[in-house]
A and B are shown apart, each in its own frame.
Chain A
Amino acid sequence: MIVAQPKPVKEVADYIKECAKVLVVGCSGCTSVCLAGGETEAEILATALRILRKKQGRPLETLVTTITRQCDPEFVAGIAEKVSQVDAVVSLGCGVGVQFLAEHYPDKWVLPALNTVFAGGTVQAGLWEERCGLCGDCVLHLTGGICPITRCAKSIQNGPCGGSQNGKCEINPDTPCAWHLIYEKLSALGRLDLMLEYRPAKDWSKERSGGPRLVQRKDAEL
């Protein structure tokens, strides 16, 4: 999932300081699962924004709604009536959600309430970790299911580097060395031969530095 974190309330309040009425839109997708932008978080943010404005003697009116996914036009379209009533829309979706709202409602000021951080998962309740670098050319079949792009600080493809010490990364003694993990995993699976294979350089052209990538399925078109 996409993992996000709330921006400081005062920062969001500053974005909407000129507004009298805003729509706070939560997302039931990824940001709901990482407890940053679901129904509860949308209510908390709306209440916090109203409290701040009440303190300033300039009350703020809020509408609050949460949609199934902000990254899906059909759900974004469903809140048109609410959007029409407000001066600005505050999105608790990831960066994709904010952009989809802004594109769908071009005459409306759409603002992010979250910082989108990474693609990751829940490693324990209340803790999320980055696990995918979205490189477009997955190598997990060669590394025992451990991603060297995200889990190695240098994204090394043929590591470990000289900074690996006692199985830990030199950047942080609490961070396991990805290539140490890969070696241990392949060793346990009896597949250390994969580490001896000569492979061409990784195809980084599929990575995001070439601008926004597209995935198309002709059969899914309407």
Chain B
Amino acid sequence: MGDFKPQIIAFCCYYCAYAAADVAGSLRLQYAPEVRVIEIPCSGRVDPVVILKAFEEGADGVYVAGCLEGDCHFLKGNIRARKRVEYIQKILSELGIEPERLAMYNLSGAQGDRFAEIADEFTARIKKLGPSPVKVGDSL
């Protein structure tokens, strides 16, 4: 498992996590290179189909990063995102995929250090879980 390089997709809200990624870059912070960042206009915009398709296409882990609760630019987008993530975690369980492969994080646009920390923390979690059962073609 030592050479396992997970594919991780991070759906990052433009108003916080995506800006925090910029801050992390400006600060020259190193974080897990396995994380592929996708900008979204609000964490509440993330669609269950898109998350499931990420897993279908071979993602080992997916996380959604939105604003701190109470700070959503669109008021409740991050709350909706959290509920949606919980809903998709249930679907993943039904499909025999560990729900921990999907997570929701909250941070502000100024928290470059937290962005890097989340990327490292989630990547470590996925490395521990190993490759996605979808990729492995694991039988039920």
- Bound complex: CA of A52 vs CA of B96, how far in Å? 8
Q: Is B53 an interface residue (CB 8 A)?
A: yes
Cβ B56 vs Cβ A52 within 8 A:
no
- Contact check: which of B49, B136, B138 meets A47 at CB < 8 Å? B49
Give the residues in chain B near A51, CB-CB below 8 Å. 52, 55-56, 95, 97, 134
Interface pair A55/B52, CB less than 8 Å apart: no
Is A44 a contact of B56 with CB atoms below 8 Å?
A: no
| B121 at the binding interface (Cβ < 8 Å) | no
Smallest distance from the beta carbon of B67 to chain A beta carbons, Å?
22
Q: Does A54 contact B (CB under 8 A)?
A: yes
Chain A residues numbered 109-155 whose CB sits less than 8 Å from any CB in chain B: none
Measured CA separation A47–B50 after assembly (Å): 9
Number of A-B contacts (CB under 8 A): 48
Counting CB contacts under 8 A, is B137 at the interface? yes
Q: Contact: B91 with A55, CB < 8 Å?
A: no
CA distance A92 to B97 in the complex (A): 24
B interface SS class? helix
**Judging by beta carbons under 8 Å apart, are A48 and B139 in contact?**
no
Given contacts A54-B137, A56-B139, contact A9 B95 (CB under 8 A): yes
For A56, list chain B residues within 8 Å (CB): 137, 139-140
Chain B residues within 8 Å of chain A by Cβ, number:
19
Do B134 and A54 touch (CB < 8 A)?
yes
Q: Which residues of B contact A52 (CB under 8 A)?
A: 95-96, 140
Contacts of B139 in A (CB 8 A): 55-57
Q: How far is the CA of A56 from the CA of B97 in the complex (A)?
A: 12
Asked if B49 contacts A43 (CB within 8 A), the reply is yes
Closest to B48 in A: A44
Check if A50 is an interface residue, CB within 8 A of chain B: yes
Which A positions have Cβ atoms within 8 angstroms of B?
8-10, 40, 43-44, 47-48, 50-52, 54-57
Q: Please list the residues of chain B having a beta carbon within 8 angstroms of any beta carbon in chain A.
A: 47-49, 52-53, 55-56, 91, 94-97, 133-134, 136-140
Q: Which 5 A-B pairs have the closest CB atoms?
A: A47-B52, A57-B137, A43-B49, A9-B94, A51-B56
